[in-house]
Amino acid sequence: MKNIFILILLFSSLLQAKVIEVGITKPIKSIKKAIDLANVDDTILVDKGVYKEGNIVINKRIKFIGQGFPILDGQKKYEVLSVKADGVIVEGFKVINSGYGTLEDPCGIKVYNRKNVVIQNNILENNFFGIYIQNGTKCSVKNNKISAHGKQEQLIGNGIHCWKSDSLQISDNTISGHRDGIYFEFVTNSIIKRNFSTKNVRYGLHFMFSNDDAYVANIFKNNGAGVAVMFTRRVKMIANVFEENWGDAAYGLFLKEISDSYIIGNKFDKNTSGIHMEGTSRIKVEKNTFEANGWGMKIQASCMDNTIKNNNFVGNTFDISTNGSLVLNTFDSNYWDKYEGYDLDKNGIGDVPFRPLSLFAVLTENNPSAMLLFRSFMITLLDKSEKILPSITPDNFIDKTPLMHSLSL
């Protein structure tokens, strides 16, 4: 009986919901007026055109739909669209020219302390922050195109910025030209999937204090410093591409003070460092490909109990580097294209252990200017000698079961 009563209420509310049309040729020409007239669950349809109405605030549960990508122009003065109600849907708009400010963080679209908000299929251009979820729950940001033209990170905000939120879905967005493409701080139980984050001033993706999240099948290409995951636990990083993140302090993926996480099935291609690890523990790095990087992995001495297993290391200048002599991590069954051992029993595993840490990698870690000697005959001779009689590289920095053939990943 109770369920029937709820169904009747829902059905009656749907019957009462109305569609309000806004446009130059319509009786209602103002978006703000349409919102004032709307009731809960109404739909506002906005025709193609340019709307300069300052800060537009949605304060009731409605569907806010653009037809032909009407332009909401903040005129470089205002936050363009503020969502202050649960269950709002924003779709089909071109949002441009938000104001600028480092204290209030004006945005193209900002959600304030709400749940079940959907922001999808929009275009955002030249905003300080693109889309901002503040203290949101079960919100979705999907299939938006977000771009800006930032040159310095102090003068531009993030493309998708999420703060103190839970159970978000950030999927299928394209982000470029912002400070960070996607930024998570104090965000839990959320997923970032199938996004393309490129040419951002700092990071393609930036995690801070955000536990129990996952990012899957994203592409992070040609950003200032790649991706950073810091002060975080239980993060799953699966099937992403980290590509062409070059620079003196750049990397595909930077890990700092994180633990109990998974890095599985990713591709690190043409980065200064594929992965740079500081203060990490209990990380599983499995079934990844490190190809054509300056360094495949930099594992600092502060890292422990990490497992590097079943990965391909191909065409890197240095496969592995470290800044210490104590090794508390495990290398097992990886493919190394620099391995020159043999496999007499033909089981696909090299009979001679492989030491992935070269003498020259150790020297350049402590003396970067030594790179001037790279590929010289003397350095090649030293590296060959070190492999036969290790003296400087750590004895236990070793893969005892190197693979003879690369893995199909």
Residue 395 belongs to a domain = no
Residue at 70 is within a domain: yes
List residues bridging with 132 in a β-sheet: 110, 161
Q: Does 84 fall in a domain?
A: yes
- Any domain includes 403: no
Please report the pLDDT score of residue 248 as a whole number: 73
Per-residue pLDDT tens, the chain, 409 aa: give them.
455 554 444 444 445 679 999 998 889 999 999 999 999 999 999 999 999 999 999 999 999 999 999 999 999 999 999 999 999 999 999 999 999 876 778 999 999 999 999 999 999 999 999 999 999 999 999 999 999 998 887 789 999 999 999 999 999 999 999 999 999 999 999 999 999 999 999 999 999 999 999 999 999 999 998 899 999 999 999 999 999 988 777 899 999 999 999 999 999 999 999 999 999 999 999 999 999 998 999 998 899 999 999 999 999 988 988 877 667 889 999 999 999 888 898 898 999 998 888 665 555 666 555 555 555 555 556 555 555 555 555 666 789 999 999 998 7
User: Does 325 map to a domain?
Assistant: yes
- What are residue 344's phi and psi, to 5 degrees? -70, -35
- Domain contains 250: yes
Domain holding 270: CATH number?
2.160.20.10
Answer yes or no: is 333 within a domain. yes
* Rounded CA separation 171/169 (Å): 6
Q: What is the C-alpha radius of gyration for the chain, rounded to an integer number of angstroms?
A: 26
Domain count, the chain: 1
- Quote the domain boundaries for residue 219: 2-388
8 Å CB contact between 255 and 282: no
Q: What is the DSSP string of 224-272?
A: SS-EEEEEEES-EEES-EEE---STT--SEEEEEEEEEEEES-EEES-S
